[in-house]
Structure 1
């Protein structure tokens, strides 16, 4: 009997093809979405991939924003049946997350590998979880990002009732996600250290992908201005950036600031817009930019700044580094892991202004720092992430 080797190989390939589900409750314009979408990009040629989410999304817009070329036929998509008022807004996150996890548990048995794109998710069975922040760890979240004064979340009694309702609706499986059966992937060494100290879990580091291919503009041709990128929200402390750079200007530096991004917190946006009006001679709000428009703004400017405290993995820092910007950030969270230079890290606004002033007076140091940051940014190429996530999925299933 003649054995058809081609058929055997095809059969073996088919057996290795896994049914992989990647869950993310709400696709928007942040770092967690990059992990999910580039994960699909990496896995789609080797496995049958399904995206589980709770709201609608515009794949064409996401492709343009994240620099990808995903097609609808590249993956399956399942939308959790949530109430319409929860699907596409940023409020009621705990209730939406509870119902979403309940739905994920219902269909988890249909897949070989389950991946949570945003924090620990109770699938009712072992899974892979990306840990990118501690929004799910109430004590740590409130320590890092306290709610602004006057918000209803500051009422502990109301907050307890709300979270209790969410937990009841979730109907948790009772599994201990930190028992060692699940794989927790930290986006930075800082997150991995917190996972170990707070939850006793070893959590390998898989940095998020940071897309972007920037032409290198000679340092001498860059504008002496700053850019800040990302979602406009209270924890991003854009007002701190304006205060810091006001201090730098007071020291004699003719710098300006471009604020790039948007947000869904009307009260914060209104207060920020008023602040921009007060400094309109040197501060400009650009809104959300993407593609060539964003790349041009980044490459044309010499400096970047990020004021969020306890940010686990600020991909915006790495984008600016790739574009040839010298960047400063608060000395907390995953930011020291990325920048690795004390002169670029600050503990408060006064120190930030002093450190920026000191470096702006040293042209040679600026150029040397730019070159070092360009080298540091190379470890965050999307190709590295795609290779690693494929290896992790295959090793996880075979373990």
Structure 2
């Protein structure tokens, strides 16, 4: 049994990365002494219940004044912009005081320079933003956040080529993300898709509603407002479509969440459900035919994978890691393209044919246990 530290900068976004963190803790707890280091308002056990994860014995270490610190960071987010890299700098400083008590570190919140052997699961590189703008991501705009990121990179990022050393094992959530990591650091991680279990649905395809469900954080990058615009356009074409928006509203995105709520309230065919229980989410997924994601260059897309796991037709942008989930005929590159995709799917009325258990959590857990075993050896 090894002493394993799991590092996760925050659980407060309550999204796919956090599910990866909690599943990793659960996967390792049977064989190792696991301690979670994080800076979060969110209680890990409460979030695990929402995700359907049983954590078992888990020690949690947070900084002194964790509650006020996490609350302040979340409250400041509308003005400070992206914070994950900065939170990771703080997390690394917290862990450095305890590192001697561990055999291995597992980062489930992207890459970090760490003083001991590690497994690092990358959803998308959090450092070296300027390098990505110049060589990888033509849509990035630079600006003050880029230079702040350079500062955080100097404090906590691995050096170029460092993640390839024998003490660091890198994993990525999709082949697309692995390519970005390769371009940024000069090493390509192995791909381990995040955990999404098949959802057992008793409702047949014929009995499902011709409605649309959009699941995800109520945040600008998820483009929830655009999802509403898509349904507006569908109805203008004569389709009697409706939309369920299902998502959490972290403090960081409260202004955007308020805007979504106001927009939904003006439409009788749009329903907003915040912080829905797992059973309610599965009920919605199993009773509707179409799942919509509007975020381009999604690093993987756990909500998209859940659509597939529930036997829905998943509709998503033709970019990022979600290309590994969604059929080409159901991908789009513009808002009008999303309308066309949904209209075509409704007109055909055909159910999806893709496997519903491609991303089972046991496959993920086995991969993480194997990666930790290799790193310890």
TM-score tier after normalising by the smaller chain length: 0.7 to 0.9
Q: Is the 8 A contact 2:210 2:346 kept in 1?
A: no
SS in 2 for 1:329: strand
String of CA shifts for 1:88-126, please: whole Å, max 9, x gaps.
443362443222112222322221111101011222333
Residues 123, 172 of structure 2: 8 Å contact kept: yes
- Mapped to 1, the partners of 2:210 and 2:44 lie a distance apart of 36
CA deviation digits over 1:47-96, x for unaligned, max 9?
A: 1111111235424422321102223xx12221133665422443362443
Q: 2:48, 2:313 → 1: CA distance?
A: 28
Structural mapping, 1:67-146, within 5 Å:
67-71=52-56, 74-81=57-64, 85-88=68-71, 89-90=73-74, 91=77, 93=83, 94-139=85-130, 140=132, 143=137
Q: 1:178 aligns with which of 145, 163, 166?
A: 163
List runs of 5+ in structure 1 lacking aligned partners: 1-16, 148-153
Q: Whose Rg is larger?
A: 1
1:199-218 equivalences in 2 (<5 Å): 199-211=185-197, 213-218=199-204
- In 1: Cα distance, 2:375 partner to 2:230 partner: 46
Decide whether the 8 Å contact of 1:259 with 1:284 is kept in 2: yes
3-state secondary structure, aligned to 2:304: helix
Aligned residues between the structures: 362
CA contact (8 A) 1:144 1:310 kept: no
SS in 1 for 2:20: helix
Alignment gaps of 5+ in structure 2: none
How far apart, CA to CA, are the structure 2 residues paired with 1:96 and 1:62? 19
Shift of 1:301: 0.9
CA 1:131–1:293 in 2, change beyond 3 Å: closer, same or farther?
Answer: same
Structure 1 counterpart of 2:273, from 278, 286, 299? 286
Structure 1 residue 255: Cα displacement = 0.8
Identify the residue that residue 265 of structure 2 maps to in structure 1: 277
The answer to whether structure 1 residue 36 and structure 2 residue 18 are counterparts is no
Picking from 210, 216, 227, the partner of 1:224 is 210
Residue 299 (structure 1) aligned to one of 264, 286, 291: 286
* Aligned CA distance change for structure 1 residues 288 and 121 (closer, same or farther; 3 Å): same
**Residues 240 and 307, structure 1, Cα contact 8 Å, conserved in 2:** yes
Compared with structure 1, are the counterparts of its residues 212 and 245 closer, same or farther at alpha carbon in structure 2 (3 Å cutoff)? same
1:198 CA drift (Å):
3.1
Partner of 1:235: 221
| Residue 345 (structure 1) aligns with | 331
Q: Deviations over 1:140-176 (max 9, x none)?
A: 48958869xxxxxx8x35x4674466567x4778796
* Aligned 8 A contact 1:116 1:129 in 2: yes
Contact 1:104 / 1:123 at 8 angstroms: preserved in 2?
no
Any conservation in 1 of the 2:169–2:371 contact (CA below 8 Å)? Answer: no
Q: Secondary structure at 1:119's aligned position in 2?
A: coil
Check whether the contact 1:124–1:173 (CA below 8 A) recurs between aligned residues. Answer: no
TM-score, normalised to structure 2's length? 0.88
Counterpart in the other structure of 1:258: 244
Aligned residue in 2 for 1:52: 37
Contact in 1 for aligned 2:213/2:246 (Cα 8 Å): yes
Secondary structure class of the residue paired with 2:162: coil
Structure 1 position 384 matched with structure 2 position 363: yes
8 Å CA contact retained: 2:127, 2:153: no
